[in-house]
Structure 1
Amino acid sequence: MNPADSRFSDSCVLASGCAPLPEGMRLSGPKQTFGCSLWFDRTDDRVVDAAFTFLAGISEQYLTDLVVGRRLPHEWNELEQKVREHVFAPAQAVILQALRTAVDRYLDSR
């Protein structure tokens, strides 16, 4: 841990969310859920980092780039629109559901 890295300050928390995959869809092995973890800075509700359960690294990187830097829930509508317009994946609704669950968990912690 780098003490100079603001991501490790006392104001940062991790919130996770998951959503069940549609029947017949698998990420890898027997996984039945899609998950995401969002690293929030409570001082401004900004997402500092994010991780997603995907097989393809490029999919995770694309979503991470869409999420990091956003103030959630303040910018939720913009994020939801970006995902709907730019992420053409069978699990698009599942991605949004997992993100929303993580944001709601973050809000519950405040």
Structure 2
Amino acid sequence: MADHLGKNTVLTAGFAQIPKGTTLYEVSTMVGCVLIIDADHDVICDASFTFVMDKTSEFLVSLLLGKSVADGMQEITQVVQERFLAPGQGAVLQAIRAAALRYHEKKL
């Protein structure tokens, strides 16, 4: 289990529709993203995704750990675009953005 129990953390989720015509769409029409964010530092300390294959989720989580959601998602967007070269990349980014946006709306 990740070390987020002793921190001021919040759990937020976002979802996005996977584009029709992709293989991923045949398995699931939506992708979900859950982020656990250290609210004192706006940093992702854990995450999960609703992919059938665990490796996909594990890889995405490894890209997000320690990243800030305070800078407008620039670093997260860049790393996902450069390193997650799979169908549904845009949907993954939209789900992450939706989760981060929900976090920021509640934090204000």
Superposition RMSD on alpha carbons, in Å? Answer: 2.0
How far is 1:14 from its partner? Answer: 0.4
1:85-105 deviation per Cα after TM superposition (whole angstroms, max 9, x unaligned) = 111111000000000000000
Question: What is the percentage of aligned positions where both structures have the same residue?
Answer: 32
- Within 5 Å, give how 1:1-110 maps onto structure 2: 7-9=4-6, 11-24=8-21, 25-26=24-25, 28=27, 31-74=28-71, 76-110=73-107
Asked if the contact 2:67/2:75 (under 8 Å) is kept, the reply is: no
- Structure 1: state its 5+ residue gaps: none
How many residue pairs end up in the alignment?
105
AA at the equivalent of 2:68: R
Q: What TM-score comes out, normalization by structure 2 length? A: 0.87
**In structure 2, what is the Cα distance between the partners aligned to 1:23 and 1:63?**
22
Moved over 6 A (4+): none
1:9-59 deviation per Cα after TM superposition (whole angstroms, max 9, x unaligned) = 47211010000111144363xx32100000011110111100001121111
- Structure 2: state its 5+ residue gaps: none
